[in-house]
Structure 1
Amino acid sequence: MLPIINGESIKELDQEFILSKGILSIDLMEEAASAFVEWFYGIFKDRTIKIYIFCGPGNNGGDGLAIARLLSKMGYPINVLYLMNGKGCSKDFQANFKKLPKNFIATNFENWNRQIDHGSIVIDAIFGVGLSRVLEGAISDLIGELNNAIATRIAIDLPSGLPSDSVTTGQVFHAEHTVTFQFPKLSLLFPEHIQFTGKLHVVDIGIEDQFLQKFSSNTFYIRKEDIFSRHRYFHRFSHKGDFGRVLFIGGAPGKIGALFLSSYAALRSGSGLVSCAPEFEENSSVQIPYNEIMLFQVKSNTDLGNMDAIGIGPGWGTAIDPDYFLSIMVRFNKPMVIDADAINLLAANPFLLKKVPKNSILTPHLKEFERLVGKVSNHAERIEKATSFAIEYNVVVILKGAHTLIALPDGRKLFNSTGNQYMATAGSGDVLTGMITSFLGQGYSPENAAICGVFHHGLAGELASQSKRRGMIASDIIEKIPNTFIELGIE
């Protein structure tokens, strides 16, 4: 997986990489600029659109100057606006400034006429990861002007004003696209910052994963190439029992659809045998919409040991006897997937937490998570609390949302790269519970079940949204689960 390096270590990382390759820092800057331009041309092919590149005095500004030169060579009309030149600027900024063509339009901020053509592109290269203060004065005013421009706004590496690892408290450039180099900076993954980051694009500038590992802070970004090796493989003599026997418990009257979504998602994820146990007095009165799902009645003495995995909580309701929940955990006594109302029961009855089977997977959304750990003020705090909770109770915590966080019992923090806004629909979380439970039942480790479930879930949402967009519903996500295996080459 791709390590996410904290801001304080990035300068050291760059210096060590440059030394190890026997290159100059300006060579790495050129690589970054080339990667940005390749991404840019893939989206903005109209070479008549006017581009304004705003450059600060540091290496982020140097990136902007190199990008300006390369885009100009491709025929794009470029205007460079710079804060200063010469003393006070980084050496690579000065070197790239000297490389600009003689006929190039480069204007100091103080002499700029404050005009940006409507429909143009504004590229922010003012401040990058080195910024450690809130923007004030003229620079803050400038960022405010750029945010009000009727233009497409793009940030290089980080939107100016955004700290690399913490929550911002000041003025920040509002990017519609953020093109970050080699790995995402942690703050780009915070929900509070979506208005600043827009769509996130990670471009490769040639720093190998093995080199990045030296600077790892136990925080990682999950990519497509990380998934293949985590899957189990089956052969032609495999039978349905090999693919796992899973059970879903929940579905109080009026909420049984949640249970069916989880069960059907498990089938589409590859489970061999899927049963559901709704909270009804008589299961014979339940109408199951999918012929492949079996009904199961969980009583106080029901043997659960023959199940390979249990997913508990979807649509369960809050009137469940805590001792009944405890009896299920004691009788099963293997890692299980705990979601929705089962999480609410844990929060309301803290004595149950110590009875949760080790390495179980909890899948709270943000509000459910706060019921477990208390109020949090921002996502940075939320990440730390999720990590501490996973370590304390020896469980996997999946904090659902954009860039879903997987907090592992050993302290590692993994962020997902798949999914989109169209997945914010009723039942999407129940689908995720079904997928994770399915992989757990197929014999995956809890870690791999969590990673594969989260990644495939987001990818299925992406595929379904291509034709549905905001009309997508949870069932659409389920129908695209098989396509995710095809997309990833999983047999």
Structure 2
Amino acid sequence: MKNLLSAKQMRDADAITIKNKEITSIDLMESASEAFVEAFIEEVADHETTIAVLCGKGNNGGDGLAVARLLKAQGYTSVFVYLIAFSEKESADYTANLKRLEDLWFPMLAVNKVEDLPDIKDEVIIDAVLGSGLNAPLEGPYKELAQKVNALKRHVIAIDVPTGFPAEGELKENSVYLKADLVICFERPKINFFFPEAAQALKHFKVVSIGLDEDFIQQCPSLYHLVEASDLREMVQPRELFSHKGTYGHALIIAGQQQTMGAALLAARACLHGGAGLTTVSIPESGLTALNTSLPEVMYLDRGELSARSIQKYSTIAIGPGLGTGKESTDLLKSIFQLNRPLILDADALNIIGNYPEFLNHLPSDSILTPHMKEFDHLFGKHQSWWERLETARNKAVALNCIIVLKNQFTFIIDQSGSVTVNSTGNPAMAQGGMGDVLTGLTASFAAQGYSAKDAAIIACYLHGKTGDELAEGQVSVSASALADHLAYTLKGLIK
């Protein structure tokens, strides 16, 4: 998996690359600018597009100056540079790239105060004002500049990071950023790109390689990692000749009430299509006809037969979707806890624990909790930001010796050591009821097949989102049922 680094670590990677490859910093900046321009051309193919480049006086501005020169060389006919000169200090590489433009008699305007910036009419604005080194909210003229540019409502493409947006750390409410439609970032996405608050600063991001020392990046100590398709190909074991249903485990899903039987059926459907050898669902008897009709491969266990002895044969146990939070469900969860076996806990199982926090003291080690934001805050208290929420998740995963799957557009999988794996698959088309139930069943499927709790959660999250990505092509929305039915096809494509 790819390490995600802090802003400081990325600067260290720059320095190591310059040293090990025996190149100059201005040459590395040129490589970064070339990579940006290549991605920019894919986004803005029309060479008649009018472009304004806003350049601060640091290295981000140096990138912007180089980008302007390279765009002109690529045939873009209207490129204008605004030199944002709110600071007297300028980096050496900025100075060098500015000299290159001056030698070309490049069209430029110095902006010494916000009032000097005209109402830009250009179709695209490239933001190269401030880079990732910022560690404080925008203030003074930079804040005014961001507000003025935002009001123009132009198509904005940021170099590496939107102006004012910190690479990591808590994103303050009501902070001002220069909003970008697209960020073309270098070598790695910023950690903060994966938090919902990032929507205040950017709509999309694209990562380009600029030739940094990959060995150094992967050896850097980091708590944050990004899972990719190549990781799935290494993690998921292909099915072998002479294997049979017993080879792939037996999952038990305890879910559903008379009014919420769909949640149980969705979880069971996902478990089945995720590849569990056997799937049993424990639902109220009123759902038996629906189960036999829609999922004849899935077996049934009467709630009254749940006991320490009857449960021993199952490879894994998931509980919660559509379970309800009344006394009967609470007593059931309490009795399951007494078995002291790792569990997969979702939905109403988490809500019950939130109602009775003392249940956490009896949580079996290596259990998997899969809360969305409201369920997480019900479990562990209100939080003011996603950074704060993730820090709590890291602490709780260590203290409880469990896996926490904190669901989000980019889901965080936090393991027993507090390490965070970021899942990048998934899309807004999946914003429909039942998706969490599918993820629970899918996680149970991989846990039943013998994968560790962490690996089962990572594989399930990636496959869940990737399937949604495939189905979303050409569709506005994706249903949970359709996603569950397509899981095996997506998985085959990942491991072939």
Change (3 A) 1:297 1:206: farther
Change (3 A) 1:84 1:140: same
| Cross-structure match for 2:428 | 421
Of the three residues 462, 471, 484, the one matched with 1:464 is 471
Of the three residues 279, 300, 303, the one matched with 1:274 is 279
| Cross-structure match for 2:411 | 404
| Cross-structure match for 1:122 | 125
Matched, 1:135 2:138: yes
Which deviations, in whole Å up to 9, do the C-alpha atoms of 1:282-332 show, x marking residues without a partner?
A: 84686542222222223343511111122210110111343421322333x
Structure 2 regions of 5+ residues with no counterpart?
A: none
| Cross-structure match for 2:385 | 378
Matched ranges for 1:423-462 at <5 A: 423-462=430-469
Change (3 A) 1:483 1:32: farther
**Fraction of identical pairs, as percent:** 35
Which deviations, in whole Å up to 9, do the C-alpha atoms of 1:180-228 show, x marking residues without a partner?
A: 2111212222111212121121222222443113433311122222221
Q: Secondary structure at the match of 2:336?
A: helix
CA contact (8 A) 1:322 1:349 kept: no
| Cross-structure match for 1:485 | 491
| Cross-structure match for 1:38 | 38
Mapped partners of 1:134, 1:67: distance in 2:
26
Shift of 1:235: 0.9
Matching residue's letter, 1:330: Q
Mapped partners of 1:359, 1:210: distance in 2:
32
Matching residue's letter, 1:74: Q
Which range is displaced more, 257-266 or 106-115? 106-115
Mapped partners of 1:293, 1:112: distance in 2:
70
| Cross-structure match for 1:327 | 335
Shift of 1:85: 10
CA contact (8 A) 1:86 1:94 kept: no
CA contact (8 A) 2:258 2:286 kept: no
Q: Secondary structure at the match of 2:185?
A: strand
Of the three residues 205, 224, 229, the one matched with 2:229 is 224
CA contact (8 A) 2:291 2:298 kept: no
Mapped partners of 2:290, 2:472: distance in 1:
35
Matched, 1:310 2:313: no
Mapped partners of 1:479, 1:195: distance in 2:
35
Mapped partners of 2:419, 2:25: distance in 1:
31
| Cross-structure match for 2:480 | 474
Matching residue's letter, 2:97: N
| Cross-structure match for 1:265 | 270
Which deviations, in whole Å up to 9, do the C-alpha atoms of 1:227-278 show, x marking residues without a partner?
A: 2111122212111111221111110111110111111111221122112111
Matched, 1:159 2:159: no
CA contact (8 A) 2:410 2:423 kept: yes
Matching residue's letter, 2:484: I
CA contact (8 A) 1:279 1:316 kept: no
Matching residue's letter, 1:472: V
Matching residue's letter, 1:83: I
Matched ranges for 1:39-54 at <5 A: 39-54=39-54
Q: Secondary structure at the match of 1:485?
A: helix
Shift of 1:350: 2.3
Change (3 A) 1:285 1:135: closer
CA contact (8 A) 1:406 1:414 kept: yes
Matching residue's letter, 1:418: T
Shift of 1:340: 0.4
Q: Secondary structure at the match of 2:82?
A: strand
Q: Secondary structure at the match of 1:388?
A: helix
CA contact (8 A) 1:81 1:108 kept: yes
Matching residue's letter, 2:203: G
Mapped partners of 1:366, 1:462: distance in 2:
22
| Cross-structure match for 1:78 | 79
Mapped partners of 2:229, 2:127: distance in 1:
29
Change (3 A) 1:480 1:46: farther
Matching residue's letter, 1:307: Y
Mapped partners of 2:383, 2:198: distance in 1:
16
Mapped partners of 1:288, 1:199: distance in 2:
43
Mapped partners of 2:411, 2:236: distance in 1:
20
CA contact (8 A) 2:433 2:480 kept: yes
Change (3 A) 1:7 1:242: same
Large movers: runs of 4+ above 6 Å: none
Change (3 A) 1:317 1:397: same
TM-score, scaled to structure 1: 0.94
Of the three residues 343, 355, 358, the one matched with 1:336 is 343
| Cross-structure match for 2:5 | 5
Change (3 A) 1:357 1:258: same
CA contact (8 A) 2:269 2:485 kept: no
| Cross-structure match for 1:24 | 24
Change (3 A) 1:78 1:217: same
Shift of 1:336: 2.4
Matching residue's letter, 1:383: L
Mapped partners of 1:66, 1:334: distance in 2:
59
Matching residue's letter, 1:329: F
Mapped partners of 1:285, 1:20: distance in 2:
64
Shift of 1:342: 0.6
Shift of 1:380: 1.0
Mapped partners of 2:290, 2:434: distance in 1:
23
Matched ranges for 1:198-209 at <5 A: 198-209=203-214
Shift of 1:281: 6.6
Q: How many residues align?
A: 487
Mapped partners of 2:213, 2:405: distance in 1:
28
Mapped partners of 1:244, 1:53: distance in 2:
58
Which deviations, in whole Å up to 9, do the C-alpha atoms of 1:464-488 show, x marking residues without a partner?
A: 111322x322122223323322432
Root-mean-square deviation (CA, aligned residues, Å) is: 2.0
Q: Secondary structure at the match of 1:99?
A: helix
Matching residue's letter, 1:479: D
Change (3 A) 1:231 1:213: same
Matched ranges for 1:53-72 at <5 A: 53-72=53-72
Structure 1 regions of 5+ residues with no counterpart?
A: none
Mapped partners of 1:94, 1:128: distance in 2:
16
Q: Secondary structure at the match of 1:177?
A: strand
Q: Secondary structure at the match of 2:248?
A: coil
Matching residue's letter, 1:325: L
| Cross-structure match for 1:109 | 111
CA contact (8 A) 1:3 1:209 kept: no
Mapped partners of 1:268, 1:72: distance in 2:
52
